Structure 1
Amino acid sequence: MSEPADPDNREVPPPTAMPERRRAPRPRRIPRSREQQARLDAREPAFEPLPFAIDEDTARRPFADKLHAWFEARGWQPFDFQREVWREMERGASGLLHATTGAGKTWAVWFGALAALASSASSVPTVTRKRAAVTQPEPLTVLWITPMRALAADTARALQSSATELAVPWTVGLRTGDTSSAERARQNRRMPSALITTPESLSLILTRADAREVLSHLKFVIVDEWHELLGNKRGTQTQLALARLARWRPELQVWGLSATLGNLPFAAEVLLAPVRTPRVSVHGKLPKALIVDTVIPETIERFPWGGHMGMRQVEAVADAIGEAHTSLVFTNTRSQCEVWYQALLEARPEWAGAIALHHGSLDQEVREWVERGLKSGLLKVVVCTSSLDLGVDFLPVERVFQIGSPKGVARLMQRAGRSGHAPGRPSRVTIVPTHALELVEAAAAREAVEKRQIEGRETPEKPFDVLVQHLVTVAIGGGFDARELYDEIRTAYAYRHLTQNEFDWALGFVEGGGTALRAYPDYHRVVRESDGLYRVPREDLVRRHRNNVGTIVANGTLNVAYLAGGRIGAIEESFVSRLKPGDIFTFGGRALELIRVQDMTAWVKRATSGRGAMPQWAGSRMPLSSELAEATLTMLARAADGIYNEPEMRAVRPLLELQQRWSALPEPGVLVAEVLKSREGHHFFCYPFAGRTAHIGLGALLAWRVAREKPGTFSISMNDYGFELLSAQPFDWAAELDSGLLSPEELDHDILASLNSSELSKRRFREIARVSGLVFQGHPGQQKSARQLQASSGLFYDIFRNHDSGNLLLNQADAEVLLQELDAKRIRSALERMNESRLVLTRPKKPTPFAFPLIVGRLREKVSTEKLADRVERMLAELEKAART
């Protein structure tokens, strides 16, 4: 799972993982000298709007001439796609611009807006002094929406400097959660000509009573990094805001900027659904080289296990970093980020002060210092997570390293684009496998990049919590007529199928609290006044809403404690919520039985047996995407035919040949499963290549279905390639598979029955309750604790279940459990594909190379790191001996 985009009005607390056997070092301030600190602080100050002044002679020149001179001064020439955007914006069109990272998308839409309005500029110089003209700047004309505050500040600096250089009578402002109160006050008196903001701050602008007047001159809305907003509720919030702006300004032009996205027509349709201006799509096809290569280790085991191989590559990675001016080293988790930072610093102690760390757990001050160091070129290498995925420009970066598989084609391309971040410069990303099978993924990823097999994104369908929040937002911002607002909301793509009954329910919910909350005045958030408009009746309700606008909800953690007393540690709530009371899981090397979840605590007791349902804790690892999984299976199919063209495939050839000799290789249209008996019990291995998240659900589903006919308990282990079911008693898996075990019929029911669906729904409802405003998160500096929020939302959940069963927020919670928590759509797709595939069920005498990492993954949760290493070494020696015979 990638890290959440940066929120506007509050920080997202980092997810807390299960304590590792060997603790990663705590984040610390990056070592640097006073001279380095002073140079960095001087080079990149925080964004501050510049005093408005333009050069009179430059201002009188035609804009086309000024623009030509601007490009010429940098030795650049506008690309064809940039000229196309300028023409389309000048004729009044809206569109989606898709181009590679660093290709110049920002200049395409920004200069397009300036050019389109150059001929109609209304400002006239009022004071002249030494050839400088101080003018009355344009009113708010361009609204620039970005998903991250750091990206907002970077964009504001770029737009402001270019407007000054082109002598355009425009001011540029920034409105995010970091904006000072003084700057907000200045904007309240007069908005800048161009305002860079976030979805949350845009919603806050819409709560102004004079919002329509403030936005009355708006001509352009630019949505940056649209691919990052498309698939989540922040994107839905943006859709609703655009629907409102398009109704106020029928001639409004909306432009989205996107890089790495597979379903472009769909993305354009979602973004531009409310606009009335002509629609176009522009593709920035540039001859930009994207180099994908791999650090191949000198020795590769035929029986891989996750993670251990990566640290053997530190010296090779350090050598490669030394050849570049500045590099980024991306990791997939924060703990891995910390480990690699320390390992590189130990390998190259002379880099102290020139190597830095960047991830979401670090203080904002440290992250900003690192970003300034990257831009200025003073840092040689930064080890980071997805916190640096998005499009802040770091021109000095020449090379990117990806530790482990990127798990997705789009993610790999996005990270590769952090290097060579300028037109004409090549981007290079080097994959550093952490186990042998990731060599196959690396080869598959390179081919998928070459073929542009990029993942698409879906958008949420009718999230009622966002709708309820929006109704209150609009009621504060001048009020609304119910019929008009219903028609307006239906122009947003996510609500195109919103029925009148559903809208009436949402309106009734904010007006009277629904069936269950009618007696509580705090939930009568809007009232219909004498003029027929709905408004918020009390100032305290207005303040409460404004302090909690937004859709970002952090993943919480639960304490783990014994019923008899004593805290054991903390674990991600998303893991515990999958368990049912009585399930066995392992934590800190102990087998524990879950008794109940209450007051943000998982209450447990020691299990009398290690057997039972023991899902492997998955942390925040990102699942393998469908596109990369399909490309990996294609690579394995070639290997099955003896074709090893890629260097990565040649390196891993002994492993794959052994897998083929002992069992079979998975490939498109072929499902491989293995049955094995050992001293631990009876193993069933299956390799659907559906990704880690789907395999959690698939393993639990199959175990539950089998146990209906023959009672039994299972230990479950999974990775991105497959899953293992371990039981004390044997099962006839061939007969089970032949009798419809993989049938997608009754899938939703069976998935929910196989897991703790009520706890999953309650957890998901807590997020919905916060977005919809049922649970007040507190005023700034007085936020409620996670325990208070859980108690409040849990109470609402129980009340609605018992007294308001038709509540649409409950239905939404159940739907989100299936779609997001369990990835039921991908599970269904996997089952359908597995049913259509030719089954190859083998009975190897020993664990195969594909089975071994699943076994180690299960053992990792049961024993300490030291004992695990010893046990793995013994298993490897035994397996290698068998492989040689």
Structure 2
Amino acid sequence: MTEPADSDTPADQPAAAPASADERRRAPRPRRIPRSAAQQARLDARDPAFEPLPFPSYSADDARRPFTDKLDAWFAARRWQPFDFQREVWRNIADGASGVLHASTGAGKTWAVWFGALAAFEKASSTPRQHPEPLSVLWITPMRALAADTARALQSSAAELAVPWSVGLRTGDTSSAERERQNRRMPSALVTTPESLTLILTRANAREVLAQVRLVIVDEWHELLGNKRGTQTQLALARLTHWRPGLQVWGLSATLGNLSFATEVLLAPVATPRVSVHGALPKALIVDTIIPDTIERFPWGGHMGMRQVDAVARAIDAARTSLVFTNTRSQCEVWYQALLDARPEWAGVIALHHGSLDQQVREWVERGLKNGLLKAVVCTSSLDLGVDFLPVERVFQIGSPKGVARLMQRAGRSGHAPGLPSRVTIVPTHALELIEAAAAREAVDKRQIESRDTPEKPFDVLVQHLVTVAIGGGFDARELYRELLHTYAYRDLTQAEFDWALGFVEGGATLRAYPDYHRVARGTDGLYRVPRDDLARRHRNNIGTIVANGTMNVAYLSGGRIGAIEEAFISRLKPGDVFTFGGRALELIRVQDMTAWVRRASSSRGAMPQWAGSRMPLSSELADATLSMLARAAGGIYDEPEMRAVQPLLELQQKWSALPEPGVLVVELLKSREGHHFFCYPFAGRTAHIGLGALLAWRVARETPGTFSISMNDYGFELLCVQAFDWEAQIKNGLLSPEELDHDILASLNSSELSLRRFREIARVSGLVFQAHPGQQKSARQLQASSGLFYEIFRQHDSGNLLLGQADAEVLLQELDVRRIRLALERMNASRVVLTRPNKPTPFAFPLIVGRLREKVSTEKLSDRVERMLAELEKAAQR
């Protein structure tokens, strides 16, 4: 378990082990042009690692000066004026209230809550204090890079305001020396992550250490709300409010579509008054698109991306500093290399940043961004969140952002200061993404931001929490159960469910013969504690809810770690093979001790790593906005530049078939040499289309058996079968009915294999298997084998195990997104079905066919075959 450096995939890579001084000198950096010694010294001297300042000494005059006067002077020195929403937050914190602040990126949310805390908690004194305030503020952030940046901002502002507060940082990157200092005396304000806060809760004196905390700030709450890290945060807040009933909690967010729900979840355990504050500011957000010179009428995924490199390079030239966001790490590597090839003179002023790169490499890039010494950085979501890079003037989004909130979040990385405009330029990688770009701009203008849900009663997180609090001083079962009921996630937890979880950590019905699973035992005083020190150490080493895919370190034989890469990718290579990683061509020498040892390759190109779980589906909000754009096109309205660019494509789609619209479901039936094709365009996102395709194929084949090939993208799916089906009659007979959905969807897929896959993650979070031990890390194969064994044992001998039920529920909700499938089916069932029989694949069908062919043939053969198909289709279109 670890904390994320970015959220490019559901699981991030483990942090690097501390490097020696020699390794740090040899650590790889992006290629750069020579600089003067003075330039390089200035860059290297500004290390991004947070170092706490010594406790400052202030004069008696500083101590007596009213805080409001010092605050006015601080704003005046920057020629700023506090916004109304900031003053509103200051008043609410002073009045003892809790709340959620929703404001645009770069609007000043940090200063709203931080200055509110300083104003409310700073004690007037006639003489300067000799020691800082005890730990009064906890600041929780979802990412380590964001934590370090936040800590620097809090520390510098406190010093500038002559407030005798110390600021500390506690994350997976914090040095052992700094941890030891904090163990002796906590700072006045501690910036941390959910995992590191949970680790503090395992201390025997946790209650004593955290008893004086008066305010908890949860930054980027939207990033935590929808996952188990958010549940982990809820449990920590419940523990803190149990110890201090008057605790104030504030959440910060820039992109929430359901603010009231987010407020309810965060503040469920809080007893103080609750408020929601909207930071409505006239911040300009510019969304534009780089439109290619030529657009094919038959698009296929990714074909247009590299043709845009020169246009993107010209746009980067016109800005001082730019961020180029990609949706996947593989795409990040490709675009970094492509831009460097297009502008060789940018070597040294263009860099690469994603979560699999070593921490020192990422920090070098962040330092260059902050100091304005980099022209551009190609990155993933590793730079999504509120790290403050003022020099960034422009943001590029390669491909569709797939979500309105994501686009706004990334746009906010430019003009990251109150009053400055933010600009994001979308770079489509295929023609249909031009429609998404126009739809995204309209959705941003209307602030149609995605809502986020939250996990309900995840028992693996509960089991982990029971062991955590058992280590941290022990717990009374009845008291802890009442505490859990104050969290939103476990508000409906029954006594029987709690008793099961408690029995499970005591050994459970099937594991009672194994001492290592007796993780909690009841003492003579009635409190539950962890009976063995080795069990406590093992638990601490595996705290967290982030389950990493099996990764290997990548390191030079000559010394220096480059980063971490997925074990599955390395396992397909043999010594001597070349692959591209971190913007370098590397030759694999050997694999040993979970490390891929490499050296620089003489060739400039190699295999591109693929990371699991990195494809993001189109959000419902952006899908609806795209359908609205298509409806206008169906009516002959092309009033956006992107829509005018794809007008020939859409007119051909309308001529050969029809255009999907809200309330109109387009189905295409086509016969070819391959067989009988069924194309359907629900615009529900690729994840839902996987389930929808399997569901419809299973329902059709119940009466007449058949074998189907399935292809899907964000717009629709294709079913291909050698035999013909009467699809029109099937639709009239209820093919699209949402009734019996849960049963049918599980029957249509290998549900037991899907449940096993989910159980692997649940087993790690609940402590059945361990991702890491001191000095060693298990391979993905070992973890899968261990979790699979538990899965089979529980299925056979403990069928009532709640972790099994959780695995089945997560398959429906997360693997298959059954809620979105249900909504899609309901909409499809209520829509007017336009069933067409085109003679050739339509522009919307063509990318689905190419997607299916891509799984069967090599890239070379695919390219040749696509060219032949395109020539045929263009010839037909010109008739």
Q: Same fold (TM over 0.5)?
A: yes
* Contact 1:30–1:366 (8 Å) recurs in 2: no
Choose the corresponding residue for 1:182, options 177, 181, 205: 177
1:822 and 2:816 are equivalent in the alignment: yes
For 1:405, the equivalent position in structure 2 comes to: 400
Q: Does residue 76 of structure 2 align to residue 72 of structure 1?
A: yes
The alignment partner of 1:309 has SS state of coil
Contact 1:8–1:201, Cα closer than 8 Å, also in 2: no
* Contact residue 325 and residue 395 of structure 2 kept, 8 A: yes
Matches of 2:291 and 2:367 in 1, distance apart? 33
Cα deviation for residue 33 of structure 1 reads: 3.4
Q: 2:547 matched to 1:553?
A: yes
In structure 1, what is the equivalent of residue 410 of structure 2?
415
Q: Describe the SS at the equivalent of 1:709.
A: coil
**In percent, how many aligned pairs have the same letter?**
84
> For 1:648-671, what per-residue CA distance to the aligned partner results, in whole angstroms no more than 9, with x for missing partners?
111111111111111000000000
Which residue in the other structure is 1:498 paired with?
493
In 2, distance between residues paired with 1:144 and 1:727? 56
Residue 97 of structure 1 is matched in structure 2 by 101
Contact 1:5 1:147 in 2 (8 A): no
Number of the residue aligned with 2:606: none
1:737 aligns with 2:731: yes
1:570 and 1:136, CA in 2 relative to 1: closer, same or farther beyond 3 A? closer
Q: Secondary structure at the match of 2:709?
A: strand
State how far apart, in whole Å, the 1-side matches of 2:48 and 2:492 are.
47
Deviation at 1:167, TM superposition (A): 1.0
Give distance in 1, aligned partners of 2:346 and 2:49: 27
- Match in the other structure for 2:88: 84
Residue 831 of structure 1 deviates from its aligned partner by 0.7
Task: Give the aligned length.
Answer: 810
Q: 2:311 aligns with which of 293, 308, 316?
A: 316
Note the alpha carbon deviations across 1:325-373, whole angstroms, 9 max, x for none: 0001111111211111111112111111111111122221111111111
Matches within 5 A, 1:269-284: 269-284=264-279
Please give the secondary structure, in 2, of the residue aligned with 1:671: strand
User: 1:123, 1:470 → 2: CA distance?
Assistant: 45
Counterparts of 1:121 and 1:473 in 2: how far apart (Å)? 38
Contact 2:634/2:659 (8 A) holds in 1: yes
Quote the Cα distance in structure 1 between the aligned partners of 2:244 and 2:11: 29
Matching residue of 2:46:
43
Name the structure 1 match of 2:702: 708
Written as runs of structure 1 = structure 2, the 5 A alignment for 1:600-615 is none
Deviation by residue 1:735-769 (Cα, 9 ceiling, x = unmatched): 11111111222212222222221111111111111
1:465 paired to 2:460: yes
Residue 765 (structure 1) aligned to one of 747, 756, 759? 759
For residues 550 and 732 of structure 2, the distance between their equivalents in structure 1, rounded to whole angstroms, comes to 41
Q: Partner amino acid for 1:426?
A: P
Q: Per the alignment, in what secondary structure is the counterpart of residue 683 of structure 1?
A: strand
Q: Which moved more, 1:257-266 or 1:751-760?
A: 751-760
Residues 713 and 848, structure 2, Cα contact 8 Å, conserved in 1: yes
Provide the C-alpha distance between the structure 2 equivalents of 1:9 and 1:340, rounded to a whole number of angstroms: 25
In the superposition, relative to structure 1, how do residues 145 and 654 fare at CA in structure 2: closer, same or farther (>3 Å)? same
Post-superposition shift, 1:10? Answer: 4.4
Please give the per-residue CA displacement for 1:560-591, whole angstroms capped at 9, x wherever unaligned: xxxxxxxxx98689xxxxxxxxxxxxxxxxxx
Asked if 1:259 corresponds to 2:260, the answer is no
Tell me: CA distance 1:168–1:570, structure 2 relative to 1, closer, same or farther (3 Å).
Answer: closer
Structure 2 equivalent of residue 330 of structure 1: 325
Higher alpha-carbon deviation: 183-192 or 232-241: 183-192
Select 1:292's aligned residue among 272, 283, 287: 287
Which residue identity lines up with residue 189 of structure 1 in the other structure? R
The residue correspondences of 1:646-795 to structure 2 (distance < 5 A) are 646-795=640-789
Letter in 2 for 1:186: R
Q: Is the 8 A contact 1:399 1:429 kept in 2?
A: yes
Which residue does 2:597 correspond to in 1?
A: none
SS in 2 for 1:414: helix
Query: How far 1:644 moved relative to its partner?
Result: 0.8
Aligned to 1:587: none
Work out the CA distance in 1 between the residues paired with 2:283 and 2:79: 17
Relative distance call for 1:413 and 1:43 in structure 2 (3 A) is same
Q: Does 1:191 align with 2:186?
A: yes
Output the CA distance in 1 between the equivalents of 2:40 and 2:717: 50
Secondary structure in structure 2 of the residue aligned to 1:494? coil
The one-letter amino acid of 1:621's match is: R
The aligned amino acid for 1:708 is R
**Distance (Å, rounded) in 2 between the aligned partners of 1:70 and 1:705:** 67
Distance 1:553 1:676 in 2: 43
How far did 1:123 drift? 9.4
Partner of residue 588, structure 1:
none
Map Cα deviations across residues 177-210 of structure 1 (whole Å, 9 max, x no partner): 1111111111111110000111011111111111
CA distance in 1, matches of 2:310, 2:846: 27
Structure 2: state its 5+ residue gaps: 1-5, 18-27, 553-565, 571-593, 595-609
Counterpart amino acid of 2:111? W
The 1:273/1:32 distance shift into structure 2, 3 A limit, reads farther
2:15 and 2:296 mapped to 1: Cα distance?
46
Report how far residue 44 of structure 1 moved: 3.5
Contact 2:394 2:414 in 1 (8 A): yes
CA contact (8 A) 1:7 1:148 kept: no
Residue 229 of structure 1 aligns to a residue whose secondary structure is: helix
Letter in 1 for 2:431: A
Q: Distance in 2 between matches of 1:525 and 1:71?
A: 53
Contact 2:256 2:449 in 1 (8 A): yes
Question: How many angstroms apart in 2 are the aligned matches of 1:655 and 1:8?
Answer: 42
**2:156 matched residue in structure 1:** 161
Q: Distance in 2 between matches of 1:682 and 1:557?
A: 42
Q: Report what 1:350 is aligned to.
A: 345
* 1:433–1:365 distance in 2 versus 1, CA, 3 Å: same
Does the CA-based 8 Å contact 1:123-1:138 persist in structure 2? no
- How far does residue 527 in structure 1 lie from its aligned partner after superposition? 1.4
* Secondary structure of 2:777's aligned partner: coil
1:176 counterpart letter in structure 2: T
Partner of 2:503: 508
CA contact (8 A) 1:2 1:620 kept: no
Q: TM (normalized to structure 1)?
A: 0.89
**Which residue of the partner structure matches residue 564 of structure 1?**
none
1:577 maps to which residue? none
**What displacement does 1:38 show?**
2.9
Partner of 1:517: 511
Task: Give the Cα–Cα distance (whole angstroms) in 2 for the partners of residues 448 and 437 of structure 1.
Answer: 17
Give the equivalent residue in structure 1 for 2:111: 107
Q: CA deviation at 1:406?
A: 0.4
- Cα distance in 1 between the residues matched to 2:335 and 2:369: 18
Q: Any conservation in 1 of the 2:11–2:547 contact (CA below 8 Å)?
A: no
8 Å contact kept, 2:443–2:622: yes
The residue identity in structure 2 corresponding to 1:55 is Y
Please report the RMSD computed on the Cα atoms of aligned residues, expressed in angstroms: 2.1
* SS of residue matched to 2:676: strand
CA distance in 2, matches of 1:676, 1:778: 52
Partner AA of 1:353 in structure 2: G
- Look up the match of 2:562: none
Once the two structures are superposed, residues 232-261 of structure 1 have per-residue CA deviations (whole angstroms, 9 ceiling, x without a partner) of 000000000000101111110000010111
Q: Contact 1:143/1:197 (CA < 8 Å) preserved in 2? A: yes
Conserved 8 A contact 1:123-1:137: no
Output the CA distance in 2 between the equivalents of 1:207 and 1:121.
35
The one-letter code of the counterpart of 1:719 is N
Distance 1:234 1:870 in 2: 46
3-state secondary structure, aligned to 1:125: coil
For residues 217 and 3 of structure 1, the distance between their equivalents in structure 2, rounded to whole angstroms, comes to: 36
Q: TM-score, normalised by structure 2?
A: 0.90
